[in-house]
Amino acid sequence: MTIKRRLFISNILMIVIPVCISLIIAYVGISLQFMVSKHDKQGPFYNGYDDLVQLSAKLLEGKGEPKQEEIRQQIQAILKPADMSLVIYDSEKNLIRFNLHETPETEKLLQIVSAMDGQGFASLANKEVYTEQIQAEGRAYTVSIIGTATDDTDGQVTPAMATFLILVTLGIISAVFVTNQFLTRFVFKRIKQPLDTLVDGVHQIRDGNLDVRIEYGNKDEFASVCEDFNDMAIRLKESQRLIQRQEESRKELLAGISHDLRSPLTSVRAYSEGLLDGVASTPESQKKYITMIKNKAEDIDRMVGKIFLFSKMDLGDYPYEPEVLEVNQELFSLIKVTAEEYREKGLDVVIAALAAEVYIYADPAQFSSMVFNILENSWKYKDKERVQVTIRTKVMGTHMLICLEDNGPGVPEEALDKLFDVFYRSDPSRNNPTKGSGLGLAITAKAVSRMGGSIHAELSPAGGLRIIIKLPVTNKGA
């Protein structure tokens, strides 16, 4: 159940429960008041009515003047203090009257009595009448007692009324308290529990535990929050891993730059000192020293240029002007321009099999640089007089594969995943920086990634290295 629905139910119950309990208390109080009132009507006042009815019966049955006079005095003794009147009549006429004052109210009360068939209680304005039928000497008579209506409370709060008010007050307070306790458990507990869980998770994240996950099974508003928390923890852990990896790469980059610059700088320094110390005394040896200094300076320049290029590509600040390229045509053009030069260096470039006409969306300059870097890598690390690089292409669904495979020395299997790292060489000793700066394949990987593709290396069955580039294909008119 969602928290919104729980709040809706709690708001309804906050009204319904106290009202229901108050109604129950009111019903009990009214019932108690009725019982008290009924008990009060059996008190001395109504006992006077009973005495008057009994005396009226004795009066009608009385024998002898002294006896009747005594009964009359008894009736007067009851009527006079209470300012009441008594009338006895049969079906034909009034027989006996005591203290009856003929007023419009008494006339109306007597009319009401006649309509009551001789039995009942009625009131009018400040007058009330009690009527009862009696039997005397075989005849039916009606006795009517008329008195002034009295207020039993006399303007005072009776004990029953006070008890009722106390019960109602206590009942309402209890109803509100019980309802509040119930709704607190019903709503607040469902909010506090997931909040405590989230707080605990946040504290663990703060303390560095990025493996913490929240398991929350309820289907309410906190479910999506807990899912987002878990997603945040995953992203934080991935970010931490990337930061650590970038820090390691930064350290490797600094170490690689220091190592690769030290060797040519050492050579430049040595040849310069040789010139200054007069070691190269002949024009021929001096020219040789100057040429070596120039070559080492060019090596440093190329290395700095590659470092600058890689940094720009890593920041995404390198010019990128893509267009639709036909892969086969681009490969033929590149090989036509460079094949002779590589052949002279001992590297034969062969196009073995090409897929049907296929198009990609890429920057021509970066595409050419990507292929050149792989060819350069095969040439620099060749271990025999002649090495062959075979180029193949293949279409697989919405992507195409460009495979460049050589029969050179290859690399250890555990080094395959590191070939595209900055300044990585398969030679752990790194004692031969002339074979490459370790930036060529890293730059190639950046270029492929910017084209929306991927690159990986495999061991060639011929014993060399196979590099496979995967790029998305596009339409000619895109």
Pick 456 or 431 by higher pLDDT. Answer: 456
CATH number, domain of 276, equals 1.10.287.130
Q: How far is CA 162 from CA 151, 155, 170, in A?
A: 17, 13, 12
The CA R_g of the chain, rounded to the nearest whole Å, is 58
Pick 155 or 133 by higher pLDDT. Answer: 133
Q: Confirm whether 401 is domain-assigned.
A: yes
* Triad 22, 24, 30: Cα angle to 5°: 100
Q: Confirm whether 221 is domain-assigned.
A: yes
**164-184 pLDDT, tens per residue?**
677 777 777 777 777 777 767
Q: Do both 470 and 415 map to the same domain? A: yes
Is the pLDDT at 1 greater than 60, yes or no?
A: no
Q: Do both 462 and 340 map to the same domain? A: yes
What pLDDT band is residue 37 in, cutting at 50, 70 and 90?
Answer: very low
Is the pLDDT at 277 greater than 70, yes or no?
A: yes
Instruction: Identify the domain boundary among 317, 348, 366.
Output: 317
**171-218 pLDDT, tens per residue?**
777 777 777 777 677 667 777 788 888 888 899 888 888 888 888 877
The number of residues in the chain equals 478
Q: Confirm whether 73 is domain-assigned.
A: yes
Q: Do both 97 and 69 map to the same domain? A: no
Average the pLDDT over each of 13-17, 243-247, 410-414 and give the range with the smallest value.
13-17
Q: Confirm whether 142 is domain-assigned.
A: yes
Q: Confirm whether 255 is domain-assigned.
A: yes
Q: Do both 329 and 280 map to the same domain? A: no
Is the pLDDT at 155 greater than 50, yes or no?
A: no
Q: Are 354 and 393 in contact (CB under 8 A)?
A: yes
Q: Confirm whether 152 is domain-assigned.
A: no
Q: How far is CA 291 from CA 271, 284, 286, 297, 436, in A?
A: 10, 11, 9, 10, 20
Mean pLDDT, range 123-137, rounded to an integer: 80
Pick 4 or 345 by higher pLDDT. Answer: 345
**Can you say how many angstroms the Cα of residue 35 is from the centroid of all Cα atoms in its chain?**
58
Please list, in sequence order, all residues whose beta carbon lies within 8 angstroms of the beta carbon of residue 234, skipping any fewer than 6 positions away: none
What pLDDT band is residue 402 in, cutting at 50, 70 and 90?
Answer: very high
Look up tokens 């007058």; give the residue.
Answer: 127
Is the pLDDT at 97 greater than 70, yes or no?
A: yes
Q: Confirm whether 153 is domain-assigned.
A: no
Q: Do both 308 and 445 map to the same domain? A: no
Q: Do both 34 and 132 map to the same domain? A: no
Task: State which of 56-70, 107-121, 387-401 shows the largest mean pLDDT.
Answer: 387-401
DSSP-H helix ranges across 97-148: 104-115
Mean pLDDT of the chain: 78
Residue 468: the pLDDT is 92
Residue 247: the pLDDT is 79
Q: Confirm whether 347 is domain-assigned.
A: yes
Q: CB atoms < 10 A from the CB of 41, how many?
A: 11
Q: Do both 198 and 67 map to the same domain? A: yes
Instruction: Identify the domain boundary among 128, 147, 166.
Output: 147
**426-446 pLDDT, tens per residue?**
544 334 444 445 677 887 888
CATH number, domain of 404, equals 3.30.565.10
Pick 317 or 295 by higher pLDDT. Answer: 295
Look up tokens 């607040």; give the residue.
Answer: 188
What pLDDT band is residue 471 in, cutting at 50, 70 and 90?
Answer: very high
Is the pLDDT at 394 greater than 60, yes or no?
A: yes
Q: Do both 446 and 353 map to the same domain? A: yes
Q: Do both 289 and 407 map to the same domain? A: no
The count of structural domains within the chain is 4
Residue 75: the pLDDT is 85
pTM for this prediction: 0.46
Q: Do both 415 and 312 map to the same domain? A: no
Pick 27 or 59 by higher pLDDT. Answer: 59
pLDDT above 90 covers a percentage of the chain that reads 4
Q: Do both 310 and 345 map to the same domain? A: no
Residue 150: the pLDDT is 58
Instruction: Identify the domain boundary among 317, 350, 381.
Output: 317
Residue 274: the pLDDT is 84
**374-384 pLDDT, tens per residue?**
888 888 888 88
* Triad 247, 248, 250: Cα angle to 5°: 65
**137-148 pLDDT, tens per residue?**
778 888 888 887
Look up tokens 């129950």; give the residue.
Answer: 24
Q: Do both 205 and 235 map to the same domain? A: no
Q: Exposed, middle or buried by CB within 10 Å (0-12, 13-18, 19+), for 126? A: exposed
What domain range is 90 assigned to? 85-147
